[in-house]
Amino acid sequence: MAFLRELTQEEIALIPSYRQFWYEAAFSTTKLNHKQVQEAIQSLYKIFELDTPSIHFCNNLFALIEESRGFFQQPYFCEDGSVFPSQVMAQIHELQMSFFESIGHYDLALTSQLKVTDGQNVECNISTYLQQTLLNDLPVCFEGYEMYTHWIFPRIWYADEASLYDFHFSAAQRTLFQAYDDIAWQSYRQLIQTTSWFAAFESDWFMCERPKAFLFNSDSTLPSAILFVDGEQLTLL
């Protein structure tokens, strides 16, 4: 990773544009382009050497969980301790972590300037809420891991992290610790930019339509609630 003090003035001047781009991706309420979504999924599954799955679009996160819960068969554990309910979702996370390995380390001064929001906190709140209210009678192998599992793809958190990767791979490549797979990065970048929350499996992909609105309290940069296209609302704070 680049240290902020090592960047040129030209590179520093680019930081706000990367942060703004990924903020807009994280909190986009633009209707999904289903064709772009399908292309992003096809590209990713090609990297994983899998056939393109059947794609199901859901109006809200409650419907997404209800439609996909029967596909949760066992937890999948990543090297960094993250837990996902499907192998494909774990593979996506491992792909993300491979990009961090190319960067090599964190520089807090630079990371704070590229940070979009506290995405991990938002996604943990969403996942915990869904688990506590909707996920009952899970396979016994999930016992003890329910509160640690990311039941859906952590959209806001991964957009937050993508700001850091995108800046290094596009604007500050000279600072990389090791080479990265550009084909994999472009596929992953397209996925984060064009999709929303989802649950992904080898045969099926359940995609939530982007919300109608994110609601914020006046004193917080984190959303207090999410309003979906069909009027359903998920309260976070």
* pLDDT tens-digit series, residues 28-79: 999 999 999 999 999 999 999 999 999 999 999 999 999 999 999 999 999 9
* R_g of the chain computed on alpha carbons: 18
pLDDT at 12: 95
Q: What percentage of the chain reaches a pLDDT higher than 90? A: 83
pLDDT at 135: 93
pLDDT at 3: 84
pLDDT at 120: 87
Q: Which of 211, 164, 214 is nearest to 189 (CA)?
A: 164
For the chain, the distance separating the N- and C-terminal CA atoms, rounded to the nearest angstrom, is 34
Say what the pTM is. Answer: 0.93
Q: In this predicted model, what pLDDT tens digit does every residue of 116-141 receive, in sequence order? A: 998 888 999 999 999 999 998 899 99
The answer to whether 127 and 151 are in contact (CB under 8 A) is yes
3-state secondary structure of 193: helix
Question: What does the buried/exposed string (b/e) look like for 178-193 if buried means 16 or more CB atoms within 10 Å of the residue's CB?
Answer: eebeeebbebbbbbbb
Alpha-carbon gap, residue 127 to 122, rounded angstroms: 9
pLDDT tops 80 at residue 237: no
pLDDT at 220: 83
pLDDT at 62: 96
What value does the mean pLDDT take over residues 1-27? 92
Tell me how many domains the chain contains. 1
pLDDT at 104: 84
Q: Which two tokens stand for residue 190?
A: 């397209």
pLDDT at 139: 94
* Side-chain-facing half-sphere of 137: CA atoms under 13 Å: 4
Domain limits for position 225 = 4-235
- Determine whether 64 is exposed, middle or buried from the number of CB atoms within 10 Å of its CB (0-12, 13-18, 19+): buried
